[in-house]
Chains A and B, each alone.
Chain A
Amino acid sequence: MSELGRLALLLAFGCSVFAVGSIAWGLRTGFSGPLRSGRRAVWAVCGLALLAVILLERALLARDMSYRYVAEHTSKDLPLHYAFTSLWAGQEGSLLLWLLILSAYGAAFLFAYRKRLDPFYDAVAMVVASVMVFFTGLLSFVCSPFRILATPPPDGMGLNPLLQDPGMMIHPPILYTGYVGFIIPFGFAIAVLLTNRSGTRWIEEVRRWTLFCWGFLGVGILLGARWAYIELGWGGYWGWDPVENASLMPWLVGTGFLHSVMIEQRRGMLKTWNIVLIVLTFQLSIFGTFLTRSGVLTSVHSFAESNIGPWFLGFILLSATVATALILYRKALLESENRMEAIVSREGSFLFNNVLFVALTFATFLGTVFPVVSEAVTGEKISVSAPFFNRVNVPIALALLLLTGAGPVLSWKRATASVLQRNFVLPVFMGALATIVALAFHVTGVYPLVCIFGAAFVTTTIVMEFARGIQARRSVERAALPGQVAHLVTKNKRRYGGYIVHAGMVILFVGVLGSSVFQKEAHGPLRTGQSLPIGPYTLTLRGVTERQKENAVHTTAIVDVKRGDRFVATEHPAKALYTKSQQPMTEVALHVTPAEDLYMILGGLNEDGSASIQAYINPLVSFVWLGGLVMVFGTVIAISDKMRLRREEKAAA
């Protein structure tokens, strides 16, 4: 079977090369035959990648230890569902998943535009196929998942315990769906430059593809944060780890693009900038994979390290060079059609918001790679971690929060003094009021107060926008308020979907503020019957148990939780010792309320028989997850908007 797997990947490589060559020939000559053949080759790559995945999954589920990949990432005592998900536990399997998603995007793209005869779409397919050449080549010649061991071991090395978590069953595929999806916007951008296409229809199409993968990347990031919160047991969910940063960077630039693309659609401006943002988003997606897979930087999320780093670096440099050369070559195509009428306008605010998104990305990038650069220059090892990013990134993020409120209430082209007064007085007043209330509750410090001001400011602008929309429709709309809101959103999904995303962002900021600034901690060794007070809670150890569960020995503390005098729950923080790897893992116990999480960890058992219990009160963490859900909801609404390009074009003309 391994030969069949290798053959499938080799054929996929051949089909990818054929697709690129055939489509390129068709585009050059104008013949439809080569274009059709090229499209079919892209479909074939998708089928072959699926076949390769099925073959590897078969080996993983059967624990066929003759496969090196299976022996390195599974063991006979590994539960079946984790044997299935160990496809993305190692480098070769992850790359195969990358290829499968990439080729699925290629096939989905061809299916979506199957009735379009425009060769422009073939050019996009050619770009996708070019990226397929890279991945099929890597999997065929550099790191095949189908390598066979001369002497199969009796049992495998087992799966990394960190990956034996239900979250890990969906987090990587969702994150990859986001990462890999940026190939389509990248394909559009390169195709525009290759075919010298000036129209605006592609912009609406690319916006929807970008929203789709941006949404998935966002969900993937949130799931990763949730995984870190539950599985790593340090009381937080975001540690500015290199791999976390790698996923955040394309999301940030993608967010910038989703804003500036509106200017191109409305006013025909910022064309070069938009192409640059698309290219950068894709490059950062590849860079993320490079960081995760190369082992250049130490990370709690790096589960596979190898020597494929130079290949990725070469690919990033090559694709960046081609994109830059094309942008310069097609400079005339990207000339703005209109001129800015006033700096104080929505266009102006979007441009400044783009500056902040790119600045935040740059700060994250610099902080992430700086340890490597610094060591190369000075020879001294340094760390750039959460303390740095909290000092540098937080203020930029707060500035972005303020602009989130300002942008939507500024009018296009020019915001007059009366518009500014009408739209800003109430939000500023509400922001100031919230700040005063926070001060009255003894909240101090510049960042928390600016965050509170910003949250109230943005919330007010969003509410005002909804209120205005409802007011405008009052003459034709007789339904109750919820119905009016629903109709309003349905009438302009893109606009109000965007506002809902902003609302989600505000909720997320409030959650981050609460959980990072107002966190409480208590720890101590507890004997049975002893208590540990933390905030309004009292934790009492009732005993410790030990039992074998699947492939690990679980040592569990039984802890009674009281709030004041009222019994709340019995929680079970535990430590799991995986028998195969002898690696201890923390099993966090969480008592969740809307206002706060009580987070408990069993540090271990001491020689005197006491249990080390560490507890945190993390206020408003549920707001982080809720904010994420609201953002997803808003994205789904925005993405379902019908094509409004024609109407806008008529208005512009």
Chain B
Amino acid sequence: MKPFIGLVTLILLGSAIPSFALDKDPVHQVTDQIICPCSCGEVLTGCICETGVSMKGTVENGVKAGKSKKAIVDGLVAQYGEVIRGAPKPEGFNLIVWIAPFLATLAGFAIAFMVLRRMVQRRKAAAAVVSPSAPGTIPFPTARALEAEAEGLRERAEAELRELKQGS
């Protein structure tokens, strides 16, 4: 399990690095990160409303003019506000939304691991104190067996009551 947890952790940490297959169109690299400022709320790449199409034109012109992606995005943000960034800038209060999911995942793994380890240790300690094979030890019926018996009885009672009702 440990190598597996390691691999999973690696993936989670690796996610901090943007990684996509194939060389993307430079226009898409910008439009994928921008939300249309009109009420449609679509990512610019797929947006077909008037505002979106006009903004895509601005991006295309910027790329053709040799502007950097950052400069194009900053220009659009200056015009329309931070709300057009599809993902908030990882700074200040917004850092929470970037960090918390991964922290929570790692904390979840750590807690699960500790809980499992404690359970295993307790079991080992209990097994050491009372050996099931020790002479004179009476096997104690588990709660599950008792419940099974109780449910069996309940079902029998229900069946008998049904028979009684049908008889009457």
Contact = CB atoms under 8 A, between A and B. Distances in A.
A136 interface: no
Given A383-B85, A444-B21, A115 B147 contact: no
B13 to A, nearest CB: 9
A377 B93 contact: yes
A362 B120 contact: no
B83 A652 contact: no
Contacts of B11: 395, 398-399, 402, 446, 450
Contact of B87 (A344, A374, A385, A652): A385
A384 B93 CA distance: 13
B84 interface: yes
Interface in A581-610: 586, 601, 603
Interface in B130-146: 141-145
A585 to B, nearest CB: 11
Given A340-B123, A382-B94, A653 B142 contact: yes
Contact of A234 (B42, B84, B98): B42
B18 interface: yes
A91 interface: no
B142 A406 contact: no
B104 interface: yes
B143 A343 contact: no
B28 to A, nearest CB: 8
Given A117-B161, A236-B46, A383-B85, A343 B101 contact: no
Contacts of A305: none
A383 B120 contact: no
B105 to A, nearest CB: 4
B113 A359 contact: no
Contacts of A31: none
Nearest to A406: B4
Nearest to B145: A653
A394 interface: yes
B67 interface: no
Nearest to B12: A395
Contacts of A383: 35, 41, 83-88
A352 to B, nearest CB: 6
Nearest to A118: B154
B144 A356 contact: no
Contacts of A445: 19-22
A300 B48 contact: no
Interface in B147-168: 147-148, 150-152, 154, 157-158, 161-162
A374 B85 CA distance: 14
Interface residues of A, number: 85
A198 B81 CA distance: 56
A339 B15 contact: no
A195 to B, nearest CB: 13
B144 A378 contact: no
Contact of A363 (B22, B94, B101): B101
B75 interface: no
B101 A396 contact: yes
B71 interface: no
A403 B142 CA distance: 32
A327 to B, nearest CB: 17
Contact of A388 (B4, B88, B109): B88
A650 interface: yes
Given A352-B112, A448-B20, 7 more contacts: A200-B151, A234-B46, A300-B41, A355-B108, A392-B102, A395-B14, A518-B21
Those 8 A-B pairs whose CB atoms lie nearest each other, nearest first: A234-B46, A395-B15, A339-B123, A387-B86, A363-B101, A388-B87, A355-B108, A445-B21
Interface of A: 115-118, 198-201, 232-236, 239, 241, 268, 298-300, 336-337, 339-344, 348-349, 351-352, 354-356, 358-359, 362-363, 366-367, 370, 374, 377-378, 380-388, 391-396, 398-399, 402-403, 406, 442-448, 450, 517-518, 521, 586, 601, 603, 612, 614, 646, 649-650, 652-653
